[in-house]
């Protein structure tokens, strides 16, 4: 009985340590999410306003004047795969990788892969997919790698190495809504071009030249925003996963404490029965 009590106490201590770790990880993830969310929102608002201006200018210029608006024969497509740098985030990375495997299986042309996040790079290499460029997932306070990746991806399209660019990332709608999403970035099709409701404008520089500056900037802003969304989604997924783990650890600890109390009561009952039995035997012996 004593050995059994020691085992239960050891389990309680272990589960208590796990509870402390998962609770700490939950709080860290919540803190990081709180820091990155304003960046996601500001990036989203910047992208929205930039896209409005670009669409308005594009509506006044023939589409054939810029390669980003033209569809061309696809001989090689680029895939920008965005995942996290760490695990313990529930199904965050698994959902992206499942979609990536489906994409690669259905691809009709060679795929040039670019990866964001250590997990995406590891996954691609385990599958035998060669990535031409990889960066770490952007942190809550620094997006230099995101800018570098955006310019690299755009450079591949500009140089003719790829004829289309798709992006696989986790969209951040809310901490509980984080769908894995596939988006076509280049060429820009189905553009929500403005219909010129605001009247005539005089552009300086001319609209054609202005569009040549706005479109690359819009594509880069879109990539950066999606990468930041993926980072926010990873923190939210980890916060949710660690919250569930903390609750499970607390429940398991409660059950173990209950088992410990029952074992102690059973031990006390057994000892009392032995004492009563021994007293009985002495009484009859006399």
Domain residue ranges in the chain:
2-23+241-285, 39-237
Mind listing the pLDDT tens digit of every residue in the chain (286 residues)? 566 888 889 999 999 999 999 999 999 999 999 999 999 999 899 999 888 888 888 877 776 778 888 888 999 999 999 998 888 888 999 999 999 999 999 999 999 999 999 999 999 999 999 888 988 887 765 678 888 888 899 999 999 999 999 999 999 999 999 999 999 999 987 544 444 444 456 677 777 788 888 888 899 999 999 999 999 999 999 999 999 999 999 999 999 999 888 888 887 787 777 777 777 777 776 5
Q: What pLDDT is stored for residue 194 in this prediction?
A: 40
pTM for this prediction: 0.83
Separation CA 74–CA 67 (nearest Å): 13
Q: What is the pLDDT of residue 111?
A: 94
What is the three-class DSSP state of 114?
A: strand
Dist. CA 63–CA 191, nearest whole Å: 10
Q: What is the pLDDT of residue 222?
A: 92
Asked if the domains 2-23+241-285 and 39-237 are classified in one and the same CATH topology, the answer is no
Q: How confident is the model at residue 87, as a pLDDT?
A: 85
Token pair in block for residue 240: 């949710």
For residue 200, what pLDDT is reported?
Answer: 59
Task: Look at the alpha carbons of 108, 112, 114, 115 in this order and tell me if their dihedral is positive or negative.
Answer: positive
Q: What is the pLDDT of residue 145?
A: 81
CATH architecture for the domain at 2-23+241-285: Orthogonal Bundle (1.10)
> What does the pLDDT read at residue 142?
63
Could you give the CA distance from residue 127 to residue 113 in angstroms, rounded to a whole number? 12
pLDDT score for 69: 85
Cross-sheet strand order for the sheet of 131-135: 131-135, 111-116, 77-82, 164-170, 180-186
DSSP state of 63: G
Judge whether 102 and 111 are in contact, CB under 8 Å.
no
Sequence-separated (6 or more) residues with CB below 8 Å from residue 61 = 207, 208, 211
For every residue of 190-237, DSSP letters joined together read S------TT-----SS-HHHHHHHHHHHHHHHHHHHHHHHHHHHHHHH
What's the pLDDT score for residue 100? 95
Helix (H, G, I), strand (E, B) or coil at 163: coil
Cβ burial of 159 (10 Å; 0-12, 13-18, 19+) is exposed
The CATH code for residues 39-237 is 3.40.1380.10
């Amino acid at each position: 009985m004593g050995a059994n009590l020691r085992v239960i106490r050891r389990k309680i201590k272990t589960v208590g340590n796990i509870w402390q770790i998962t609770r700490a990880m939950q709080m860290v993830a919540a803190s990081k999410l709180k820091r990155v969310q304003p960046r996601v929102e500001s990036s989203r608002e910047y992208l929205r306003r930039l896209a409005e201006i670009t669409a308005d200018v594009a509506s006044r210029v023939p589409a054939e004047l810029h390669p980003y608006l033209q569809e061309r024969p696809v001989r090689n497509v680029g895939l920008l795969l965005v995942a996290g740098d760490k695990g313990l985030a529930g199904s965050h990375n698994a959902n992206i990788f499942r979609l990536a495997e489906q994409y690669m299986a259905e691809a009709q042309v060679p795929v040039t892969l670019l990866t964001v996040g250590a997990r995406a790079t590891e996954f691609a290499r385990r599958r035998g997919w060669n990535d031409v460029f990889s960066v770490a997932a952007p942190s809550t306070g620094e997006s230099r790698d995101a800018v570098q990746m955006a310019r690299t991806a755009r450079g591949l399209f500009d140089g003719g190495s790829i004829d289309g660019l798709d992006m696989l990332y986790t969209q951040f709608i809310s901490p509980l809504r984080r769908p894995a999403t596939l988006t076509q970035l280049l060429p820009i099709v189905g553009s929500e071009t403005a219909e010129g409701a605001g009247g005539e404008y005089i552009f300086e520089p001319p609209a054609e030249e202005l569009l040549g500056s706005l479109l690359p900037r819009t594509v880069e802003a879109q990539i950066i925003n999606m990468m930041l969304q993926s980072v926010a989604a990873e923190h939210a997924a980890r916060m949710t996963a660690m919250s569930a783990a903390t609750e499970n650890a607390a429940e398991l600890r409660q059950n173990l404490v209950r088992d410990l109390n029952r074992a102690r009561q059973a031990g006390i009952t057994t000892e009392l029965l032995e004492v009563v039995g021994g007293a009985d035997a002495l009484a009859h012996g006399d």
